[in-house]
Homo-oligomer: A and B are copies of this chain.
Amino acid sequence: MDAFQDHYPENVSHCFGCGRLNGHGHQIKTCWDGDESVTRFMPEPYHTAVPGFVYGGLIASLVDCHSTGTAAAAMYRHEGRDMDSLPEFRFVTGSLHVDYLKPTPLVELELRGRVVEIKGRKVVVETSVIAAGRETARGRVVAVQMPESFRS
C-alpha cells in the first residue's frame, strides 16, 4: 500500500499518531479510495474505555492524524502534484471535533474521510469511524498548513 504517511519528509515523521519513524506510536497508514481517504487500525487490547470498548482518546487521535494526512494528500491532489514533489505540504490541527455516536467495540476500525473544503492554507476534513460495519463516531478537523516555527 502506498500510504500518504510514507511520503512525509523525515523531519515530520515522528508523530506518535502517524509518523513512520516513531517506534512507540500508532504509525497509521492512510490512502485514497476514490474521493474518500481510508485508514484501518486495530486497537490494542488495552486501548479500552470499559472492557470491550475503545477509549475516546484513541478515536480522537486516529481522527486527528487521519484527517491531517488527508488534508495534505488533498492539497497535492488539488494542485495536481505528486506527494513527493516540492514544496511539501504538511498540516497541523487547528481544531478537532468528535461526536461519539455510540460505544465503539474493540475490533479493527475503519476511518473514512471526506474533504469538505480547501481554502488557502486550510483544509476541512470530515471523518467517519466505522466498527463492525456501523458508524460509531464522526469527526471534523480543520487542518492548517504547518507554520515554519513548528518545524524541527
B-binding residues in A (CB < 8 A): 11-12, 14-17, 19, 22-25, 44, 46-53, 55-58, 60-62, 64-65, 92-100, 103, 149-152
Q: Which residues of B contact A95 (CB under 8 A)?
A: 97-100
- B16 and A50 form a contact (CB under 8 A): no
CB contact between A50 and one of B14, B53, B61 (< 8 Å): that residue: B14
- A57 and B51 form a contact (CB under 8 A): no
Provided the pairs A25-B46, A152-B52 are in contact, do residues A94 and B103 lie with their beta carbons within 8 angstroms? Answer: no
Query: What copy number does this chain have within its complex?
Result: 2
Name the residue on B nearest A141 (C-beta). B56
- What are 13 A-to-B residue pairs whose CB atoms are below 8 Å? A16-B46, A16-B57, A17-B55, A50-B150, A50-B152, A52-B152, A56-B92, A56-B96, A57-B65, A60-B60, A95-B97, A95-B98, A96-B100
| Least distance between A142 CB and chain B CB atoms (Å) | 9
| Least distance between A128 CB and chain B CB atoms (Å) | 15
Question: CA A58 – CA B47 in complex, angstroms?
Answer: 13
| Least distance between A23 CB and chain B CB atoms (Å) | 8
- B92 and A16 form a contact (CB under 8 A): no
Question: CA A22 – CA B51 in complex, angstroms?
Answer: 10
